Structure 1
């Protein structure tokens, strides 16, 4: 049996072909790497696929985290629009300043009270003029005023001069008191209420004059009652707020201490 017919016999070294010295050696095939080092294309991650991240325009919210800031709105031209609140409703100001005078508006109730006081002053002024006209005539001298009727001085004597001067002072006081009170109420001074009460007391002196002066007592009393009403109180409050000065914080420029205060320097 020949060797070629025996498959389990391996050729020996003598059976291998020999090559002559200097003959070119056949090129051996390049070694093929093992398949274990080359994974299949299906198992390799694609380098062209980008990582999936959340879009900036749609921030994701996670439980327990604060709300992400919203993107500022933009206008038609692409510029950012500043968000603003709607304007507040106009409210009635406390002072109610008049555009004509620049001062708080005069309340109609206060105007009524001041008008009554001015009317009382006018009545007394007219009554004193009537007394003076009657006193010129000697026959009507004692009847011109109650004070002269009670005292009955001799016309032209020093006593008559004294009593006439007293009547002039009484008329001046009764005319001035209501007029000053009305003026101060017009200017918004609260103490005009106290002055109105004093004017009522002074108006009682008109009894020393004639009957023409008596209506002044009722006018002063009515004007005083009007000034004590509630609407006039609000009018005085507006004037008080109008005159109130702005709060001024004291500024001390002496002994300015920099650094630690002296009471803490020893610590």
Structure 2
């Protein structure tokens, strides 16, 4: 009886296998799952209850502005903070070193992380939209053009934040140091990007200019343009949605994040040489 020769798995099969490993590992950690999905929802519920009775320009409830911006915060938390911390953990416990010693292309590891952040981010966005629509009457647009805007802001935002999170993973020396090092700048950015304080024009102009240097502000502005009426554009710093500038800034951060990843990513910890 002849036996069929074994063939090596293709790169696509290895990417799919690694993606399955990443998803299983994540969903087995119930604490991480609950914290990841609950954080933006809890923040939206708490802050939304504070701003619920306040009206911004054009009579738009501040809670709806907060809900739209919280989508951007959820993406940043998952793709930047959680991804960076996860890679630091993989580096410290030797996972990255072991993966480099097996016949698996490096792209499979990153593909697994990309699939993980995409799945978790989609779930997170759906939860935020559900809470915003149910409790704060966040309008879900019927215009396909608005959903097209949502799609490209989402994809550019996820890509840019994931690349920056990957690059940021090379900064902390240990898992213990990762949480404060990654969370502190992200927390500051949420305030200066108009996530927690709405409308953004309430902030001093100097802080608005700082926030405008980073992608979180433009993601939040893009999502507000999707779910809020046209009159709400008056609450933005420029008095308009600025879709062209949003796309340009987010694309620039995607390119910059890629360059940082290529030049700074390390498979081994500093103690390994």
Scaled by the length of structure 1, the TM-score of the pair is: 0.28
Which structure shows the higher helix fraction?
Answer: 2
Rg larger in 1 or in 2? Answer: 1
